[in-house]
Amino acid sequence: MTKNQEYLELESSIKAEFQSSLSPADALDLLEAGNQRFLSGNGSKRRSQSNLLKGAAQGQAPFAAVLGCIDSRAPIEEIFDAEIGDLFVARVAGNTVNGDILGSIEYACKYAGSKLVLVLGHTQCGAVKGAYASLKDGNLTGLLERIEPAVAPVRETHGTDAIDEAIDLSVANNVQLVCERIKKESQILAELEESGAIRIVGGVYNVATGEVDFSTYPG
């Protein structure tokens, strides 16, 4: 039986035994399979809410941590057909990273056993568009400055008009740079990946089709 089949047969929230049996590749397979169910319209909701809540009250063992954007069109658990207790989810505009986000992911992987870190960008990202336009306003200024390294080279080659192609390239650049920053700025996560305990990967969610492209940063 594959790990995805085992996952689909769970009756309650994920337990530590199932989580520990997974490799980082297994965790990525679970996300990919979940997105395929979402795309096909065969979303699960296999486990009863009462069982999920009862299991969650006894502890948690999510198989992956996802860093996504706050965008309302990219609901993380829904995209991956996931249920209560399946995923750690951190969301911030532009799926960028700071010390608090890094600490959260470190907790997810080192202390709670998650096997995968997915940085998930999405098409038509407003934060990336704001960075592309060099928007400066309140607390957004500092946030968008962290996205600037992803958009600057695209702006040089494509001009200042935020056409779809330029934004899509910037979104992909941002995912890649955030993955690299996680490894550069978190010794804990870098060492976990080097040891094979986790993988750090990146993908882009298409808000028009519902599909996640996992090739952005294979890890």
- Region 149-173: mean pLDDT is 96
Residue 138 burial (10 A CB sphere; 0-12, 13-18, 19+): exposed
Structural domain boundaries, residue 193: 3-217
d(CA 218, CA 203): 8
pLDDT at 170: 98
- At 44, the pLDDT band (50, 70, 90 cuts) reads low
Query: Average pLDDT over the chain, rounded to whole?
Result: 96
Give residue 48's pLDDT. Answer: 86
Q: The CATH number of the domain where 50 resides is what?
A: 3.40.1050.10
Kindly report the pTM of this predicted structure: 0.96
Question: Structural domain tally of the chain?
Answer: 1
Residue range 166-203, pLDDT digits in tens: 999 999 999 999 999 999 999 999 999 999 999 999 99
Is the separation of the CB atoms in 26 and 49 below 8 Å?
Answer: no
